[in-house]
Chains A and B, each alone.
Chain A
Amino acid sequence: MADRPSGFVVAVVDDDQGILRSLEILLESADYAVRLFTSGTELLESGRLPEVDCLISDIDMPGMDGFELLRTVHAARPGLPIILITGYPDTLKRLPPLGGSTPRFFTKPFQGPELLAAVSDGLRQPRG
């Protein structure tokens, strides 16, 4: 987490260390500041949610899953851009009601440039 020339902070939640580290280096290559969390609970308990500008979260995690995290974060930070990623394409077929938020979805393995484009799109949106 070096300098933060872009000034934006992106939080990444995934229970897989390999995925976390790869997203960290990808986001840093686009000059974002990155915060890594291995679970939704860890993010919520860290107290860092207010400084986050964009959230990327895995869906299929033990304990609190991506959908639950999304609902909790949406209640605390409505309008925060959220991107969900999943290893199981079938997960997207059983989407629960997401309470008004409109996350972007990516299936692993995803294209790095597309994910970065989604992040910058989310950051450009007017805050609600």
Chain B
Amino acid sequence: MFNRDAVVREEQHFILSTLPPSATQKWLAAAVVAGIFVVFASITFGPLSGVHLRRVDAFVPAYVTAMFVCDAITAILLYVQFSIVRSRSTLVIASGYLFTALILIPFALVFPDAFAPGNLVGGLQSTSFLWLSQHAGFSVFVVAYALLKDEDPGKRLWQGTVGGGIALSAAATVAIVLLAALVCIAGDPLLPRVATDSLHFSPLWPYFIGAPVALLSLSALVVLWIRRRSVLDLWLMVVMWLYLIEVALSYYPDPQRFSVGWYTVRVIGFLSSSLVLIVLLHEISTLYARLLGAVLAQRREREARLMTGDAVAASIAHELRQPLTAMVTTADAGFRFLDRPLPNLDRAKEAFERIAADGHRAGDLIGTIRANFKSEVRERTSFQLGELIDEALALARSDLQKHGILVHTEPGRQLPEVRGNRVQLQQVLLNLIVNEIDAMAAKDEPRVLSVRSEAYDGDRVVVSVADTGTGIGSQDADRIFNPLFTTKSDGMGMGLSICRAIVEAHEGRLWFAPNTPQGAVFQFTLHTSGPASAAG
């Protein structure tokens, strides 16, 4: 029920390498995969198999330049992501893109007849082996990325400085590219004869070039599939699929350059190179818009709070102005009774008594105001979270049973007691549970509500309430905490905003994340009573 990563830090919802893909993105990726397969089939077996195209030597430099720009920009964007999340996996995949970009330089130089008749440097085999280096190398980077991304935080994060990390990985990448170029160019006479001339591949090509690339990209695809989680994972899987098609099309049906298959491989190569870039750019602009919305909502919320504050202040001012006016006026009267040729002491005394009474009235008013605003929040006790969760679930039991919802609780073992206003926090928990029941009631099975608590960041605990309901649409994500927002026809819209206010009054945070494979997870943090009670 509970995804292993259900407890994600809220700030990571804005980072692409951790952001889960939307349903639309998954469909789009599936469409690309299927579409490319159709292209492959129609070239290998279908109507395009007999078509012959002209040899255009200028195609190669143009193609290489476009690929270089795409890969370099992708690398830069991923390095920027690394500087934010500092995860080693992001650093590795950024280096992978730098690698594919840089290795295009020797590839262009060795390509037969690209810049000048014959080979500028290297020999007949250099081109194929540099293509091998590029594709096999990038697949290895992807495997490394996939293996690194799920490590625990201690290992997952880069410990050094951001600049140092980027400089080190870039230097290592350049060294690998230089080494590959050296082997492929200087070692040309020693390499297997995979190309018979500047156009045709020999029967050795599938064994020395095709098979290694296919095997590595297939392994990368498998590792990514097992550990798939983020938008980036999804599109890297598509890239690995494109690599497999590239290998197949390079040799079948026509094992030569400038064939339909060969041109298609270049187009697919360009697609695979630009795919992640397009996704990155799209996601960055989407996230920018979302952040902008969040900032504006926050500003409106603050203004609303100030307005409420103004209204409260005005009402307090008015309440106090009445007794103050009475006191000042009565004092004036008392003064007039004394300031006479024959002072009226009795009436002056009466004035003083009234002033004292009005003073007490003002004091009582202040006391009442303070009681209204403060008393409830002040009543804080220490208690076990597990008990609170059980109580809230008991209160919601009839609703849970009515909708046939399975309840799954995972109380954190040996969690310290938390400190707070028990009644208010129970309201928060109950409100979240009732919301999620409503989200699941509108849906078919499975209906599972999971509540769990665990330690969070040292002296805090996090409570997660997860459902398998309809989830929260991206268009609602920015506004569900707004005081007047509701998706329910009979809702007042105050629930989540009050929940958030209560949690924030306890110096905690309340946020939500999508649940996998469906639904939403609401999470909030609370402070523990302190290290002394950790055994409790």
Contact = CB atoms under 8 A, between A and B. Distances in A.
Interface of A: 16, 18-19, 21-23, 25-26, 28-30, 87-88, 108-113, 115
Nearest to B338: A29
A112 B326 contact: no
A22 B321 contact: no
A116 B165 CA distance: 82
A22 B336 contact: no
B322 A29 contact: no
Nearest to B332: A112
Interface string B325-361: 1111111111111000000000100110010001001
Contacts of A111: 328, 332
B318 interface: yes
B322 A19 contact: yes
15 contacts: A18-B322, A18-B326, A18-B358, A22-B329, A22-B354, A23-B329, A25-B333, A26-B336, A28-B347, A29-B334, A29-B336, A109-B324, A111-B332, A112-B328, A112-B329
A111 B347 CA distance: 20
Interface of B: 318, 321-337, 347, 350-351, 354, 358, 361
A21 B332 CA distance: 13
A18 B324 CA distance: 10
Main secondary structure of the interface of A (DSSP, over half): helix
A22 B326 contact: yes
A29 B347 contact: yes
Given A22-B358, A29-B337, A112-B328, A88 B322 contact: no
A108 B350 CA distance: 22
**What are the 4 closest A-B residue pairs judged by CB atoms, nearest first?**
A112-B332, A29-B336, A22-B326, A22-B329
A112 to B, nearest CB: 3
A25 B325 contact: no
B452 to A, nearest CB: 53
Nearest to A24: B333
A26 B322 contact: no
A112 B332 CA distance: 6
B354 A16 contact: no
Contacts of A21: 326, 330, 354
A11 B318 CA distance: 24
A16 B351 contact: no
B166 to A, nearest CB: 60
A19 B332 contact: no
Given A28-B333, A29-B337, A30-B336, A22 B325 contact: yes
B325 A26 contact: no
A25 B351 contact: yes
B321 A26 contact: no
B333 A29 contact: yes
Contacts of B361: 18
A69 to B, nearest CB: 19
Given A18-B361, A109-B321, A109-B324, A26 B329 contact: yes
B318 A22 contact: no
A25 B330 contact: yes
Contact of A87 (B318, B329, B332): B318
Given A26-B333, A109-B328, A109-B329, 10 more contacts: A18-B358, A19-B322, A22-B326, A22-B333, A25-B333, A28-B333, A29-B334, A29-B336, A108-B324, A110-B328
Of A22, A87, A108, A112, most buried by chain B (CB within 10 Å of CB) is A22
A23 B330 CA distance: 7
Nearest to B348: A29
Contacts of B321: 87, 108-109
Contacts of B350: 25
A108 B318 CA distance: 9
B329 A88 contact: no
